[in-house]
Amino acid sequence: MSDKLVSSPRTLSIRTSRLILRKAREDDLEDVHAFLSQEDAVRYWSSSPAYSNLAQSLDWLETMIASPHNGVTDFVIELINTDYGSTSKPRPGPVIGKLGCWDNTDVISFILNKSFWGKGYAADALQAFSWYMFAFTGESQDGRRKTPADKLIADVDPRNKRSRTLLRRCGFVEFARGGRTRKTHLGWCDSIYYELTRERWEFLNGTSSGT
């Protein structure tokens, strides 16, 4: 569960003990390019190879910033910096990934800078995001009331063992498979579909959304 949720009139941020899930900003470019340029990070996440120049990452970032889902259901993952330096407040930490639903569906997308793999950050982020999607109610960007989602779905390449392990760890279960579902820089790829329903999330967390 998220430790703290901070809202603004149009967007919000989700805070855990180590991470902040927040809207993307223009000054995130260098950090975003760091993971979009890693072949290992984008191999099964993108339909294109790793970006080779900053302009490609800028186009991607500008698209995310312009989206109505930015900071609403789609977030960058910022690592909390505990180094206060000479100030009374910690300086912003690096953006180490991205997680969320980037369109009007319940399909999630996530990517993490390879330098931060194996530290539990992806699980922290996904568990906090799941709590937000299933348990949090509040005002959405267009002023309508946000209601708990019914489910979250992930489409994963069978070869992506790390993501499959992450999803299972966070309560997702496989519900379908498909062959040659999309064509990427790797060629035709298959899919395993994972699902986490609100009912299952509530059971695993011993909570209820109150709906």
pLDDT tens per residue, range 87-113: 556 678 999 999 999 988 999 999 999
* DSSP β-ladder status, 74-79 and 95-100: antiparallel
pLDDT tens digits, 8-40: 545 689 999 999 999 999 999 999 999 999 999
pLDDT at position 84, please? 57
Homologous superfamily of the 4-147 domain (CATH): Gcn5-related N-acetyltransferase (GNAT) (3.40.630.30)
d(Cα 148, Cα 137) in Å, to the nearest integer?
6
Which residues, including other chains, have CB under 8 Å from residue 162's CB and lie 6 or more apart? 117
Region of poorest pLDDT, from 40-49, 78-87, 127-136 = 78-87
Identify the band that residue 173 occupies on the pLDDT scale cut at 50, 70 and 90. very high
CA nearest neighbour of 75 among 22, 139, 152, 7: 22
Q: How many CB atoms lie within 10 A of CB 205?
A: 15
> 3-state DSSP call for residue 140?
coil
Q: Model-level pTM?
A: 0.90
Are 167 and 36 in contact by the 8 Å Cβ rule? The answer is no
pLDDT at position 94, please? 97
d(Cα 49, Cα 175) in Å, to the nearest integer?
28
